[in-house]
Amino acid sequence: MKLAPRTQAQNPVMLLVYISAILTTGLWLASLFGLKDASSGFTLAIAIILWFTVLFANFAEAIAEGRGKAQADALRASKRDVDVYKIPSIGQKEEVTVISSAALKKDDLVIVRANEQIPADGEVVEGAASVDESAIIGESAPVIRESGGGRSAVTGGTTVLSDWIVVEVTSEAGVDDFLAEATPEGKLKMIRDFQAKGHLVAMTGDGTNDAPALAQADVAVAMNSGTQAAKEAGNMVDLDSSPTKLIEIVRIGKQLLMTRGSLTTFSIANDVEKYFAIIPALFMGLYPGLSTLNIMNLHSPQSAVLSAIIYNAALIPLALKGVKYREVSAGKLLNRDILFYQVQQEAKKLIFL
């Protein structure tokens, strides 16, 4: 039950809103019997908005959980064994050998045409195509994948919608170094060494001897076919037992971080606007000079508080929709969010007040 107090306690922010909604409802009931210092209508409006926020915040969380499970199921279903068109080299695209995707090896070249599925994770080495990645990022709009630059990575299970591309299979995401005959202590030491240098370390494992290193890693994915010790030490369990899932985990994780960053940026901009709305209206009686800051012409503290709470409702569609994954730096995303949400706040002032 999402509204159970124990569930709400897992999120301190929503717990505070939850308690405030209960207390405000109690104040409204008390106001019906004459115990009040504000109008019953004002108290009821605040209570309704707080309950609205609580209900839709939990609704958004439930949708996000369901969407994540649906993406995982769709991706798992899409990665089936298909026929692929292997070529000897980029200059020999007409000399095609049809093989099973299960027989592909690292550095193999395959040509993928319109309406065909990309058989494995890889890099586009020639051509450009529109690719449907909705099973991964949740966006129905196709993306362009082309050779060179930062848009060359493709993921197995996605579908080419138009044109063609030549893909070099990189299912193992490239190997720069390895630790031969690694012991549990050796794996643990290597992870700690990388972390000491400031790196975030991800690891996959399936054996009992992997458990200490999995527990130490920042992101630990245990194989479903592995031992119970490995599953308990990992952050998550890959039902398909595919080590290449780390690539997809990183991409989905970036999308979640972008959504969280956008929500945080909006909240900060929203809070700044609320202070400019509430403070002048609250203290104009004591300090008449603050009336120059009352640019929304709010006539009372009650109207200021009510308008500030209504602004929070804009968080709900943003949380429900999420933010599309973009291959740009965090700085550019922050600048975009600041500009977008600040302009949005100013527009709301002009339209609604």
Give pLDDT, residue 78: 55
Rounded Cα distance between 251 and 262, Å, is 17
126 bridge partner residues: 166
pTM over 0.75: no
Q: Where are the extended beta strands (E) located within the chain?
A: 83-87, 97-100, 109-113, 122-132, 143-146, 153-154, 159-169, 202-205, 219-223, 236-238
Give pLDDT, residue 352: 46
Residue found by looking up tokens 């929070």 in the block: 312
Burial code (b: 16+ CB inside 10 Å, e: under 16) for 197-227 equals: eeeebbbbbbeebbbbbbbbbebbbbbeebb
> In this structure, are residues 168 and 108 in contact, taking their beta carbons and an 8 Å threshold?
yes
Give pLDDT, residue 132: 86
Angle at 77 between CA 72 and CA 78, to 5 degrees: 100
In terms of Cβ atoms closer than 10 Å to its own Cβ (0-12, 13-18, 19+), residue 98 is exposed
Question: Rounded to 5, what percent of the chain is helix, strand, coil?
Answer: 55, 15, 30
Give pLDDT, residue 228: 87
* 57, HSE (Cβ side, Cα atoms, 13 Å): 20
Give pLDDT, residue 161: 92
Give pLDDT, residue 317: 63
Rounded Cα distance between 179 and 186, Å, is 8
> In this structure, are residues 275 and 305 in contact, taking their beta carbons and an 8 Å threshold?
no
How does DSSP classify residue 218? S
Give pLDDT, residue 282: 73
Rounded Cα distance between 226 and 206, Å, is 4
Q: 219-223 and 122-132 as β-strands: parallel, antiparallel, unpaired?
A: unpaired
What is the spatial order of strands in the sheet that 219-223 belongs to? 202-205, 219-223, 236-238
The CA–CA distances, whole Å, from 78 to 45, 75, 307 equal 48, 5, 47
Give pLDDT, residue 101: 81
Two structure tokens written together for 24: 């405000």
List of the chain residues with pLDDT < 70? 1-2, 60, 64-65, 67-81, 135-140, 150, 172-181, 240, 242-244, 270, 273-274, 277, 295-296, 308, 311-331, 333-334, 337-338, 340-353
163 bridge partner residues: 129
Give pLDDT, residue 292: 76
Two structure tokens written together for 91: 């200059």
Give pLDDT, residue 176: 61
* Neighbour tally for 275: CB within 10 Å: 10
Give pLDDT, residue 257: 74
15 bridge partner residues: none
* 43, HSE (Cβ side, Cα atoms, 13 Å): 18
Helix (H, G, I), strand (E, B) or coil at 150: coil
